[in-house]
């Protein structure tokens, strides 16, 4: 039986609120009469903006306060960008729904230059993602890579203020906020790999709340779940940490799954790349297999560094 009310724990950023409102709208449409409320919260990942995420504990910092709200009964579910969700959830939590994936590519954003190739030597590019930094270094070792934290609006403001010649963001986030016009060019697979799960919205809930899980499961997209399961399995096999530059892109076709993954080294721009294909129901095996191929190329040394 569907609950009468569902409360969504969400971060307070414009993008997080958009995602929570989007899920709320889908739930109201799917379950007529259901009351859906937002519970906006601040997380440590939002509050500590003067240090790289990898230094202060990783993307899981964006989840902890939301999970605490669910454990304490202040919220029934949380909405996340899947790329911010650790490969292994905390005990007692599940992802009953993953929505259809939006554009998973990265966005090259600049006020003066059309694309990465157009940047002059030594141009300043902002991103706090080690995955993006490694791929930027591989393509343009001459660039000055600078850390960039904050929500989408803050990052764009820093670009507009002249702190950077260009920045790299997720296409999906810009598009969801109505900022598609800021995308000068797309950095997309197969040449450029996104973060595992990038572009997908995930709904998290307590695993001991069957009525809530059932109400949310109707929003799940089977193809997206298959693809991101392979990507996240690869990431987990590699150590599942945001302190390592890891990219993954899985496509789902009538023939099955195809996964391409990479591990990078920020200092040198060296990239290890592997890919494999599999049938539809072996997403975890496929992810593990690509991870093993990366290990066979020497990924362990990158992971240690």
Residues acting as catalytic residues: 84
Please give the distance of CA 9 from its chain centroid, rounded to a whole number. Answer: 18
Which residues is 246 bridged to in the sheet?
263
Tokens of 100: 């259809």
Which residues is 206 bridged to in the sheet?
93
- 177, with CB counted inside 10 A (0-12, 13-18, 19+), is middle
Q: What is the pLDDT along the chain (305 residues), one digit of tens a residue?
A: 789 999 999 999 999 999 999 999 999 999 999 999 999 997 655 554 444 545 444 555 678 899 999 999 999 999 999 999 999 999 999 999 999 999 999 999 999 999 999 999 999 999 999 999 999 999 999 999 999 989 999 999 999 999 999 999 999 999 999 999 999 999 999 999 999 999 999 999 999 999 999 999 999 999 999 999 999 999 999 997 767 899 999 999 888 999 999 999 999 999 999 999 997 679 999 999 999 999 999 999 988 87
Closest alpha carbon to 239 in 146, 180, 301: 301
Q: How many CB atoms lie within 10 A of CB 301?
A: 13
Please give the distance of CA 248 from its chain centroid, rounded to a whole number. Answer: 11
Q: Do the beta carbons of residue 180 and residue 174 sit within 8 Å?
A: yes
Distance CA 115, CA 209 (A): 47
pTM attached to this predicted model? 0.92
């Amino acid at each position: 039986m569907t609950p009468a009310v569902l409360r969504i724990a969400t971060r307070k950023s414009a993008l997080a609120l958009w995602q929570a409102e989007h899920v709320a709208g889908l739930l109201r449409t799917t379950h007529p009469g259901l009351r859906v409320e937002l519970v906006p919260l601040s997380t440590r990942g939002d509050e500590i903006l003067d240090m790289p995420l990898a230094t202060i504990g990783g993307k899981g910092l964006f989840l902890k306060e939301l999970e605490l709200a669910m454990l304490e009964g202040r919220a029934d579910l949380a909405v996340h960008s899947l790329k911010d969700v650790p490969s292994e959830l905390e005990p007692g939590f599940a992802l009953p729904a993953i929505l259809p994936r939006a554009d998973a590519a990265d966005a090259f954003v600049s006020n003066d230059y059309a694309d990465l190739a157009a940047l002059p030597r030594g141009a300043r590019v902002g991103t706090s993602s080690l995955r993006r930094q490694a791929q930027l270094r591989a393509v343009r070792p001459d660039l000055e890579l600078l850390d960039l934290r904050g929500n989408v609006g803050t990052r764009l403001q820093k670009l507009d203020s002249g702190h950077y010649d260009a920045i790299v963001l997720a296409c999906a986030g810009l598009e969801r906020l109505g900022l598609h016009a800021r995308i000068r060019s797309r950095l997309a697979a197969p040449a450029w790999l996104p973060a595992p799960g990038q572009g997908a919205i995930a709904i998290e809930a307590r695993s001991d709340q069957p009525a809530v899980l059932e109400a949310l499961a109707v929003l799940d997209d089977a193809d997206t779940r298959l693809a991101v399961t392979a990507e996240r399995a690869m990431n987990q096999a590699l150590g599942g940490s945001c302190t390592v530059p890891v990219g993954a892109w899985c496509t789902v076709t009538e023939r099955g799954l195809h996964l391409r993954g990479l591990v990078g080294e920020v200092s040198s721009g060296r990239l290890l790349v592997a890919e494999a294909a599999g049938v539809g129901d072996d997403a975890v095996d496929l992810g593990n297999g690509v991870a093993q191929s990366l290990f066979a190329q020497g990924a362990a040394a990158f992971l240690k560094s």
